[in-house]
Chains A and B, each alone.
Chain A
Amino acid sequence: MTMNWIAIGDISEIPLRGARCVKTPVGKVAVFRTAENEVFAIEDHCPHKGGPLSQGIVHGNAVTCPLHNWVISLETGKALGADEGAVRTIPVKNDNGALFIALESLALAAAE
């Protein structure tokens, strides 16, 4: 399977310890930039009740959902602590600041 990398913009467009969302045919993707300048992308849809994770507070490699404070790992997409659930993670590539996400996985996800 070849990855189809799609450009979404430059890393500087996301605040440190922040997120932006990217609209795609299969829903919104939340793209995060941590304090350490790492970039992650996950579905913008909390496993609890669908809260927009891109609006949460980013800390370490995790985000706290703005609706009911579940903490979601940006690396695995899994809920941390006592809560159970997961969101899909999306491959991101950071090419000297230019960011790309892999849409196949999204399309596949939609096809499933």
Chain B
Amino acid sequence: MAEQTPEKLVIIGNGMAPGRMLEELFEKAPGRYQVTIFNAEPRVNYDRIMLSPVLSGEKDYEEIIIHGDGWYIKHGITLYKGHKIIGIDRNAKTVTSDHGVTESYDKLVIATGSVPFIIPVPGKELQGVITYRDLDDVQAMLLAAQSREKAVVIGGGLLGLEAAAGLKARGMDVTVLHVMPTLMERQLDPAAGYLLQKAVEERGIKVLTKANTKRILGETRVEGIELEDGRIIPATLVVMAVGIRPNAGLAKDAGLAVNRGIVVDAGMKTSDGDIMALGECAEVDGMVYGLVAPLYEMARVAASHLAGDRKAAFVHSDTPTKLKVTGINLYSVGDFADGDGREEIVLRDATAGIYKRLVLKENRIIGSVLYGDTADGAWFNDLLKRGTDISEMRDTLIFGQAYQGGAPLDPTAAVAALQDDAEICGCNGVCKGKIVSTITSKGLTSLDEVRAHTKASASCGSCTGLVEQLMSLTLGDSYNPTAVQPVCGCTDLGHDEVRRLIKAKGLKTIPAVMQELEWKTSCGCAKCRPALNYYLVCDWPDEYADDYQSRFINERVHANIQKDGTYSVVPRMWGGVTNSQELRAIADVVDKFNVPMVKVTGGQRIDLLGIEKEDLPAVWADLGKAGFVSGQAYAKGLRTVKTCVGSEWCRFGTQDSTGLGIRIEKFMWGSWTPAKVKMAVSGCPRNCAEATCKDVGVVCVDSGYEIHFAGAAGLDIKGTEVLGLVRTEDEALEHIVALTQMYREQARYLERIYKWAKRVGLDEIRRQIMDDAEKRKAYYDRFVFSQKFAQVDPWSERVSGKDKHEFKPMATVGFNQAAE
């Protein structure tokens, strides 16, 4: 029993480095230590690298957690969240937190990471000036971004650019200030830095190089930045991303040897034999690190020592740098400065936006910079690490691995040619052999499984492509990474493919689609038929005969089915405006048909609930006499345009929001869309019509009409994105119509605008609708054309006899017999 008493291991800091160390330790020496962790951040260990995707909205915090609470419980770890250690007593062997908890240790590990560097300019302490290091910073940025105002990011390095891209994606107007002449100058040569700057600017982010910040302006909150050259840049948010410093103050106060970081030997031991340090706070052999790959190596070494293996030693290696901004590919590793005895090979392809540069010394690669096409990064890095003599393939080296030995230009072949110990995942140091053997021995079939078992592609994710290629190499045809979700069980094709083929092959009926695209069932199912019917209605408005048997009951009978099989009826009230005559007609219908419930809807309409199907045509006839048409409250189509009273009545109104709403509704009613479309127009930014959670919304301002889209307020809640500002009502209508048509033509059936927009990209939509007048006009014209066939009031058609069979029972039988 006594010999089993675990030693006490205390860890300061709960970042990625100690998290990895513990994983390795629990594997090597389970149960040997009783672990206690103090973490100044009030949370578990998460993937700090992935904060940028959280900022840009591509991931949620929950998705980047490395160790959930359950993991700590499972390993019996005491985790003090939100406890900062303020003192280490090396004689007593205790640490004390700012909340007064004191814990004794046998072994202490310091893993306090880094602190962001704050440039010492006046105004640095103003509200709205933040750094970029942890989840709290991301949340502060997200909050600030809601204003959609101006942000300045100081620092054009990896972190700064990721922050800028994220803020831009959240709708802010972003300027990046960088002191040096080119971006990311420590990782990129000037040529690649220039290409990067262009790509960043193309995203609508302004970049000022050689920009020296003089002071930050503002009283209590930041209002702007003044540069040394006198320029002033207004901003309500300033993000400082100018570098990091090892967080070594605590160690220094405790009397440990500290240089730039906490000095440790190759076994991660500090100047005190019972105290180790690792992560960004540690300095080994004069070097400090800021990327996870070497930190994970430190973690491995530290775990070995804690488990009793004293031979493990940290060795330096270069880590490639990649930028995690979707759509920008860059890769750099090693040393690429010019110098004596160095040669270089450069490939430029201006049209494709590709730049590659290899720096050679004595026929060996010592550095590489790839921009635009980074597929060969891993291979070049492999040659660099091995010190391979490249004289043999010198002429074709720059074209990449696929060109060597006449191998076909197949990316999988390139991966196949890699040696077993070639590194695939830089962050986690996972080599090809490990991945392949794990896939085979564990029978893995999905990327997530490979991530879970090998850690490959589990950190920054930039090697995902390589890992997928390895999977298809190992698993053959049974692995299909790009497998699309089929429309339904009747076909293997996805929605996009079906839409494309309908156009390409000129398919104009549902049977033609099913025949040509080799449907597996004879007449489809309730999932694919409504989708196909919509696609055909949208693509061939003048030629296609709507197949009502392929529509859901609501659209077939133009009313909403309720749980008891009765229907609800919502007449159209343009823009939510009505009058005494209309209200009287509604009241009469309610009395005449004993309508059990009358209700005002969220879309500013009146809903008559509980109407028997057989009564529908008569109800519509009465409503029709008062001038009502169908409100299409049942349709995957334009439903409602909500409005506020605007400049006509409201003292704040800037434009005639009611008028515009009515105009939009009269223009667009009757159109079928992939999913329902709800709109709103507010007369000023007070936004009484709640336009900023609609599929499409307009917020009127003094200078015109701000068009919003891609909001949601149902199962998901999401504020809208701004499409752009237009000056006149005519322009507003044209832009909204064009946007809707683009959505009609591209979205998958039942995909709301916000989901479609997320898939195709907000920038792409803005580019086509705001910037490309020709495209916009073409969309607009196609919408107008299709409206010729769509704007027929379905109620009056049915009042005059269409689809009679829908509303009457076929027969009423058997009552005599039963009465006997």
B818 contacts the other chain (CB 8 A)? yes
B626 contacts the other chain (CB 8 A)? no
Interface residues of A in 88-112 (CB under 8 A from B): 101, 103, 106-107, 110
B805 contacts the other chain (CB 8 A)? yes
Q: Which of B523, B549, B817 contacts A60 (CB 8 A)?
A: B523
C-alpha spacing A27/B813, complex, angstroms: 11
Interface residues of A in 1-47 (CB under 8 A from B): 4, 6-9, 13-18, 20-26, 28, 31, 34-36
CB contacts (< 8 Å) of A50 on chain B: these are 565
C-alpha spacing A18/B806, complex, angstroms: 10
Asked if B810 and A60 sit within 8 Å, CB to CB, the answer is: no
B327 contacts the other chain (CB 8 A)? no
A56 contacts the other chain (CB 8 A)? yes
- Shortest Cβ gap from A89 to chain B (Å): 17
Asked if A18 and B525 sit within 8 Å, CB to CB, the answer is: no
Asked if B526 and A57 sit within 8 Å, CB to CB, the answer is: yes
A64 contacts the other chain (CB 8 A)? yes
Closest to A15 in B: B549
Closest to B550 in A: A57
Asked if A22 and B810 sit within 8 Å, CB to CB, the answer is: yes
A58 contacts the other chain (CB 8 A)? yes
A74 contacts the other chain (CB 8 A)? no
- Shortest Cβ gap from A42 to chain B (Å): 14
B234 contacts the other chain (CB 8 A)? no
Closest to A17 in B: B549
Asked if A21 and B809 sit within 8 Å, CB to CB, the answer is: yes
Asked if B813 and A16 sit within 8 Å, CB to CB, the answer is: no
CB contacts (< 8 Å) of B813 on chain A: these are 6-8, 22-24, 101, 103
CB contacts (< 8 Å) of A51 on chain B: these are 565
C-alpha spacing A28/B565, complex, angstroms: 12
- Shortest Cβ gap from A10 to chain B (Å): 9
B811 contacts the other chain (CB 8 A)? yes
Known: A26-B818, A103-B817. A31 touches B523 (CB 8 A): no
B553 contacts the other chain (CB 8 A)? yes
A52-66 vs B: 1/0 string, CB under 8 Å? Answer: 100111111000101
Q: Which of A21, A57, A67 contacts B810 (CB 8 A)?
A: A21
CB contacts (< 8 Å) of A20 on chain B: these are 805, 809-810
Interface residues of B in 510-561 (CB under 8 A from A): 521-526, 529-530, 548-554, 556-557, 561
B714 contacts the other chain (CB 8 A)? no
CB contacts (< 8 Å) of A101 on chain B: these are 813
A79 contacts the other chain (CB 8 A)? no
A87 contacts the other chain (CB 8 A)? no
C-alpha spacing A49/B529, complex, angstroms: 24
Interface residues of B in 549-601 (CB under 8 A from A): 549-554, 556-557, 561, 563, 565
CB contacts (< 8 Å) of A110 on chain B: these are 818
Closest to B510 in A: A17
Q: Which of A4, A60, A107 contacts B521 (CB 8 A)?
A: A60
B800 contacts the other chain (CB 8 A)? no
- Shortest Cβ gap from A109 to chain B (Å): 11
CB contacts (< 8 Å) of A107 on chain B: these are 814, 817-818
Report the interface size for chain A: residues with CB under 8 A from the other chain: 43
CB contacts (< 8 Å) of B482 on chain A: these are none
CB contacts (< 8 Å) of B526 on chain A: these are 56-57, 59, 64, 69, 71
- Shortest Cβ gap from A20 to chain B (Å): 4
C-alpha spacing A44/B549, complex, angstroms: 18
C-alpha spacing A46/B551, complex, angstroms: 19
Asked if B815 and A59 sit within 8 Å, CB to CB, the answer is: no
Asked if A16 and B549 sit within 8 Å, CB to CB, the answer is: yes
- Shortest Cβ gap from B16 to chain A (Å): 42
B91 contacts the other chain (CB 8 A)? no
C-alpha spacing A20/B523, complex, angstroms: 19
Asked if B812 and A4 sit within 8 Å, CB to CB, the answer is: no
Interface residues of B in 767-784 (CB under 8 A from A): none
CB contacts (< 8 Å) of A57 on chain B: these are 525-526, 529-530, 549-552
Known: A17-B523, A23-B812, A24-B813. A67 touches B563 (CB 8 A): yes
A69-92 vs B: 1/0 string, CB under 8 Å? Answer: 101000000000000000000000
Known: A20-B810, A22-B810. A67 touches B523 (CB 8 A): no
Q: Which of B524, B549, B552, B818 contacts A66 (CB 8 A)?
A: B552
CB contacts (< 8 Å) of A71 on chain B: these are 525-526
- Shortest Cβ gap from A32 to chain B (Å): 11
Asked if B525 and A64 sit within 8 Å, CB to CB, the answer is: yes
Q: Which of B554, B565, B814, B817 contacts A52 (CB 8 A)?
A: B565
Asked if B522 and A13 sit within 8 Å, CB to CB, the answer is: no
B796-820 vs A: 1/0 string, CB under 8 Å? Answer: 0000000001000111111101110
- Shortest Cβ gap from B320 to chain A (Å): 48
Closest to A51 in B: B565
Known: A60-B523, A103-B814. A55 touches B805 (CB 8 A): no
Closest to A104 in B: B817
C-alpha spacing A23/B612, complex, angstroms: 14
C-alpha spacing A87/B551, complex, angstroms: 24
CB contacts (< 8 Å) of B529 on chain A: these are 57, 59
Asked if A67 and B805 sit within 8 Å, CB to CB, the answer is: no
C-alpha spacing A62/B172, complex, angstroms: 52
Asked if B561 and A59 sit within 8 Å, CB to CB, the answer is: no
Closest to B813 in A: A6
Asked if B565 and A59 sit within 8 Å, CB to CB, the answer is: no
C-alpha spacing A19/B818, complex, angstroms: 24
Q: Among A36, A57, A58, which residue has the most Cβ atoms of chain B within 10 A?
A: A57
Known: A49-B563, A57-B529, A67-B563. A9 touches B549 (CB 8 A): no
Known: A23-B811, A25-B818, A106-B814. A55 touches B549 (CB 8 A): no
Known: A24-B813, A25-B815. A18 touches B523 (CB 8 A): no
C-alpha spacing A60/B809, complex, angstroms: 23
Q: Which of B524, B548, B809 contacts A28 (CB 8 A)?
A: B809
Q: Which of A9, A24, A60 contacts B522 (CB 8 A)?
A: A60
- Shortest Cβ gap from B511 to chain A (Å): 9
Closest to A65 in B: B526
Known: A59-B525, A71-B526. A25 touches B814 (CB 8 A): yes
C-alpha spacing A8/B466, complex, angstroms: 66
Closest to A103 in B: B814
CB contacts (< 8 Å) of B811 on chain A: these are 7-9, 22-23
C-alpha spacing A35/B561, complex, angstroms: 25
Asked if A13 and B812 sit within 8 Å, CB to CB, the answer is: no
Asked if A35 and B818 sit within 8 Å, CB to CB, the answer is: no
Known: A22-B812, A60-B522. A55 touches B818 (CB 8 A): no
CB contacts (< 8 Å) of A23 on chain B: these are 809, 811-813
- Shortest Cβ gap from B395 to chain A (Å): 61
- Shortest Cβ gap from B805 to chain A (Å): 6
C-alpha spacing A7/B805, complex, angstroms: 17
- Shortest Cβ gap from A21 to chain B (Å): 5
- Shortest Cβ gap from A45 to chain B (Å): 9
CB contacts (< 8 Å) of B548 on chain A: these are 15
A8-B813, A20-B805, A101-B813 known, 20 other contacts, Cβ within 8 Å: A7-B811, A7-B813, A8-B810, A15-B548, A17-B523, A17-B550, A22-B811, A22-B812, A23-B809, A23-B811, A23-B812, A24-B814, A55-B557, A55-B565, A57-B529, A59-B526, A66-B552, A67-B561, A67-B563, A110-B818
A-B pairs with lowest CB-CB distance, top 6:
A64-B526, A25-B818, A20-B810, A57-B526, A55-B553, A8-B811
6 chain-A/chain-B pairs, Cβ below 8 angstroms: A25-B814, A36-B522, A52-B561, A60-B525, A107-B818, A110-B818
